[in-house]
Amino acid sequence: MPKVLRILLPVLVLLGVVGALGGIKASQIRLLIDTGKAAQKAGPPAEVVATTQSQLDTWSATLSAVGNVEAGRGVTLSNDSPGIVTRLHFDSGDEVKTGAVLVELQTSVERAQLKSVEARLDFAKTNLKRTTALVKDGVTTLSELDSAKSSLDSLAADAAALRAQIERKIVRAPFSGTLGIRHINLGEYLAPGSRITTLQSEKEEYVDFSLPQETLSRVRLGLKVRLFVEQAGIELPGVIAAIAPDVDERTRSVRIRASTTDPEQRLRPGMFVNVLVELAEKRDVVTVPVTALVYAAYGDSVFEVEDDAESKTGKSARQQFVKLGETRGDFVEVTKGLQGKETIVSAGAFKLRNGAPVKINNEVALDPKLDPKPANR
């Protein structure tokens, strides 16, 4: 008998432990089931969002394009005559005035020839004076006087030609501006037309861009434009200075030039620039902040906040699909889907679904600024 008890006692203890564990686990499962049912009955938790109202506004019409910066005056400087560089009077990036000497080529042969001609020219002048006096005294003939005059004129022409040859070997700045990178060095032989450097004027810049031919009737000289290089933080005003009289037959676009002033000299020829042309006409628009939009492949949408008696917060979100128009600054034009003055979610829209309960907290609302480019006037 004691031997049977020794065998049954551990078995009974083990069964008791298993039963206790089973009871604890069953209690936990019942608690989870009850919690799930309560959560299901209560519904999903309310999402905290910020709201704003869609705005009714008036925007001036604009045309956008991409342009390239062109210098008001810009040239590549080169030499007219061949020769060896004997003097350099500039360095890369120097600012120069009109007529400043930049490069001198070797002119020793021309200067020696000029001295010889000038010496003969002095003798010809003296000879002409003597011949003139002899003609008055009747000692010599008029033909001798004509010959002396012809010799003087010929030598004067030869001297002028040599001076011109010497001048052609001096490269000067044709206008005031900033020099580019120097491409030559002292002692270098330059063939005619060798690239020396570039020269760009500092006062005025131009931006060339193109617009479709159907916009030609809306564009005229003097219209204001806004020029932007957002990566560099550049924003400059300008005006349309020229409109090409023809249309590009390949792109069916019109070439337009806008002029601007750049006091800080931040624009560089060849720079990429965004252009907005301000047109005279205006239009009424409905706008929403960019942060209110939910972009998707099947359509863009916003979430309107509506009263909902069944929601535990009394508010719910309804998804409203919209059609978008122009973007200006932090606001987007809504061409279809909103009438204006609707309460929409401006922050937190990405975490919502249709019919979701919401809790409004505008203390953390984003503050987009209506900063259209160009400014809405």
CATH code of 335's domain = 2.40.420.20
Whether residue 321 is contained in a domain is answered as yes
pLDDT score for 30: 79
Whether residue 84 is contained in a domain is answered as yes
Q: Which two tokens stand for residue 58?
A: 């008036």
Question: Do 313 and 269 have their domain in common?
Answer: no
Question: Do 119 and 222 have their domain in common?
Answer: no
Whether residue 85 is contained in a domain is answered as yes
- Going by C-alpha positions, the residue among 314, 312, 320 that lies closest to residue 345 is 320
How far is 375 from 377, CA to CA, in rounded Å?
6
Tens of pLDDT, residue by residue over 307-339, are 877 777 778 888 889 999 888 878 898 999 888
Structural domain of 122: 75-199
Whether residue 29 is contained in a domain is answered as no
Whether residue 37 is contained in a domain is answered as no
Find the DSSP H helices in 89-178: 108-137, 142-168
Place of tokens 């925007």: 59
Q: Tens place of pLDDT for every residue, the chain, 377 residues?
A: 566 666 777 777 777 777 777 778 777 887 777 666 655 555 567 788 888 888 888 888 888 889 998 877 788 899 989 999 999 999 998 989 999 999 999 999 989 998 998 898 888 888 888 888 887 877 777 778 788 888 888 989 989 999 999 999 999 998 888 888 999 999 999 999 999 998 887 666 789 999 999 888 888 898 899 898 877 788 888 999 999 999 988 989 999 999 888 877 788 888 889 898 888 778 888 999 988 898 888 889 999 988 877 777 778 888 889 999 888 878 898 999 888 888 888 888 888 888 888 888 887 545 555 454 444 54
Q: What share of the chain is helix, strand, coil (3-state, %, to 5)?
A: 30, 40, 30
Whether residue 7 is contained in a domain is answered as no
Number of domains in the chain: 3
The set of residues, in sequence order, having a beta carbon less than 8 Å from that of 127 and lying 6+ positions away, is: 148, 151, 152
Tens of pLDDT, residue by residue over 223-276, are 899 898 877 788 888 999 999 999 988 989 999 999 888 877 788 888 889 898
Question: Do 54 and 68 have their domain in common?
Answer: no
Question: Do 104 and 245 have their domain in common?
Answer: no
